[in-house]
Structure 1
Amino acid sequence: MIFRSLFFIFVFVPFLIVIIPLQALIVRLRLPFWYAVPRMFHRLGCVFLGLRVRVVGEVATGRPTLLVSNHISWADIIAIGSVTPVIFVAKREVSEWPFVRIMAYLQKTVFVDRTRRSGTGRTAKAMGQAMARGDNVVLFAEGQSDIGTHVLPFRSALVGAAQHAMEAAGAKEVNIQPLTIAYTKMQGLPISRNERSLVSWDKSKSVKQNIRHILSGPVKDVTVAFGTPQVLREGVDRKTITKAAENEVRATLVALNRTGSVPVKSAQV
């Protein structure tokens, strides 16, 4: 904890003082290398939070990519953002959190209002525009976070809406790629079910409690696994593709929790 406190005071805070106005200018000018600063931020965030990130596979190339992922904790964003440049889709409430709102804007985060039907359309349009520009988008497809032992059903509505938005933007095909995040060890030892409460963010905890648990907890090993992409094009059933991605993420999560390795298919891109 002493190391993290010193790191925060002498490294993290000075970095933020410099990069926040710089990144705001980069985003405003729409410069193509906008993702460089957020990636540096996330890598420093991993050091501060005690996250050791292992990567399996890589992001698909050749066409715009929508990464559909499971969701365990807000720390998922730090872990994923440290290994690849992406734009996240987050619930509207996040845009109301102090500081987080600023950092989310600087990473071009897309916010979705799940309480309104019209919110899905606006979110899909923003996702489609981002992917049409060549940016990769991460969607936490369960719609909520869970403890990290299983995967909730993926919601296909935003996947289909993003497809229509992509077509409207002029792109006819998009990669739908499964993305699995798993917290496998704490202080070098396999994480137990009870210890998962020190990482996961469920409804029984407030944001402050979750932040306190992660900051005060030991070093955590995290695996970010990019799975097998499928092409979503006009006429393809988005529910079938979403379900296939869900099944792959579930199988990969179970394998990572049990053995620390992933099925061969999930490691190929």
Structure 2
Amino acid sequence: MILRLLFLALVVLPFTLVGLPIQALILAFNRPGWTILPRMFFKLMAFGLGLRVKIVGAPVKNGPVLLVANHISWLDIPAIASKFPVCFVAKSEIANWPVVGFMARLQKTVFVNRDRRTDAGRTASEMKDRIEEGSNVLLFAEGTSDIGTHVLPFRSALMGAARQAMAEGTGREVVVQPMTIAYTALSGLPLSRHERPKVAWIGDMGVGDNLKTILSSGPKDVTIAFGDPIRGDGDRKTIAKTAEREVRRMLVALNRGQPLQ
């Protein structure tokens, strides 16, 4: 834990202090290459937090693509963003968090108020803008995080609104691609159910306690798997169910150490 704290304090923090104003200027003047600094930052974060990330498959590259995934922990964010550039869709409360909210904006995060149905249209429009810029957009479709042993029902409303808005903005049908996040091992040993609180964000768990547990635990193996893309021209509820089944199938296989078919 001490070594990780030293790395975060002596490497990640200085990089952040130098990189934040540079990133702000890049976005303010709409310069290319805005994904470079965030990706470097998340690579350092992933290393400092003990994440060992493995990728299975790849996101569709001839977009527009809407990635939909399960959600287990805030560790999902550095794990994913350390491997490829992506714009996250996050709950609106995060925008007001000190430092974190500011940093999320510098990565072009789209914020959504899940308690207001009328917010779906605005959020979908912002997601469309990210796609038009050539960015990957990732939606944690469960709407919350879970322990990582199963997948909660996917919410179809925002998925459907985003798909429609992006299709209208790009003039092309949007492909929906399932993506699964699985924490499979801790210190090289299979992750048991009672050890999952060492990585998962569960219930009303406090930030301080969760961070302390993560820093004091061993290396954490994370697998990010991409499923077959789903055509986006069907019923949104059907698409959500299909994506949910695929994410669940991949999660079960990864948790059991089985190869993905």
Q: Is residue 2:103 matched to residue 1:106? A: no
Q: What is the CA distance between 1:168 and its match in structure 2?
A: 3.0
Equivalent runs, 1:1-269 vs 2, <5 Å? 1-233=1-233, 236-259=234-257, 261-264=258-261
Residues 1:130 and 1:196: Cα distance change in structure 2 (over 3 Å): same
Q: Which amino acid counterpart does residue 194 of structure 1 have in structure 2? A: H
Contact 2:177 2:227 survives alignment (8 Å): yes
Question: Match for residue 267 of structure 1?
Answer: none
Distance of 2:31 and 2:240 partners within structure 1: 32
After superposition, the C-alpha distances for 1:154-207 in whole angstroms (9 at most, x for unaligned) are 111111101221133132211200110000000000011010011111113122
Contact kept in structure 2, 1:50 and 1:220, CA below 8 Å: yes
Q: Please give the alpha-carbon distance, in whole angstroms, between the structure 2 residues aligned to 1:212 and 1:3.
A: 13
Mapped to 2, the partners of 1:263 and 1:178 lie a distance apart of 13
Conservation of the 8 A alpha-carbon contact between 1:92 and 1:113:
yes
**1:19 Cα offset (Å):** 0.6
**In 1, Cα distance between the equivalents of 2:66 and 2:161?**
12
Deviations 1:120-177 (CA, angstroms, capped at 9, x unpaired):
1111111112112221100000000000000001111111101221133132211200
Matches of 2:236 and 2:181 in 1, distance apart?
Answer: 22
Identical residues among aligned pairs (%): 55
Determine if contact 2:8/2:45 at 8 Å carries over to the other structure: no
Where 2:256 maps in the other structure, the secondary structure is: helix
Describe the SS at the equivalent of 2:174.
strand
2: CA distance between counterparts of 1:167 and 1:254? 32
**Is the Cα contact below 8 Å between 1:252 and 1:262 reproduced in 2?**
no
d(CA) in 2 for partners of 1:6, 1:200: 23
Superimposed CA distance per residue, residues 227-264 of structure 1 (whole angstroms, 9 cap, x where no aligned partner): 1112213xx212212211111110110111111x4422
Partner Cα separation in structure 2 for residue 57 and residue 36 of structure 1: 22
In structure 2, runs of 5+ residues without a counterpart are none
CA drift at 1:5: 2.0
Distance 1:262 1:67, change over 3 A: farther
Q: d(CA) in 1 for partners of 2:247 and 2:122?
A: 27
1:26-47 Cα distance to aligned partner (Å, 9 max, x none): 1112223111111111110111
Q: CA deviation at 1:95?
A: 1.0
TM-score w.r.t. length of structure 1: 0.94
Larger CA deviation: 83-92 vs 158-167: 158-167
Question: Is the contact made by 1:132 and 1:171 (CA closer than 8 Å) also made in structure 2?
Answer: no
Stretches of structure 1 that go unaligned for 5 or more consecutive residues are: 265-269
